[in-house]
Amino acid sequence: RAASVDNLTQVFNRREFERTLEIEWRRSIRSKQPLSLILLDIDHFKAFNDYFGHLNGDNCLRQVALAIKESARRAQDIVSRYSGEEFCILLPETDRPGAHILANNIRKNISQLNIRHSPKFRDQPVTASLGIATMIPDHKGASPHKLLEQADKAL
């Protein structure tokens, strides 16, 4: 467990995300079902961290991770911390409209946390930007990294 879970946020870490992405990619090839990915970035997190300090930044990350986990409730949905303030949500057997619904729910749940941002941002609540990509994998040249690139570009 310690090797696959991010200690701070208690969601899967990047290594586990990459391992799971490969597995779900192969499963989607076999099942010919869509695979969706949401890449989430907390907006202006560096400014938040600089103003409130790292302990409050860590608390913000934990709350956001929990809001994501509570939004992505299906057993097969994989929530991972991708980097500092970025998270990935891997959604097997989920089409683009389904991923959009989940992304909107995640955005709403983060907003409802009502974590106040720094005065530089007029004390607005912390928000997140989300990029969505969906593919039906096949054996013809596409790769799981292409799915991640598309989500990053959409972000």
Q: For residue 114, give the 3-state DSSP assignment.
A: coil
Catalytic residue, chosen from 85, 86, 93, 149, is: 85
CA distance 43 to 32: 35
CB 37 within 8 A of CB 130: no
d(CA 46, CA 112): 21
Residue 9: count other Cβ atoms within 10 Å of its Cβ.
Answer: 21
Annotation says 85 is catalytic: yes
Give the active site residues: 85
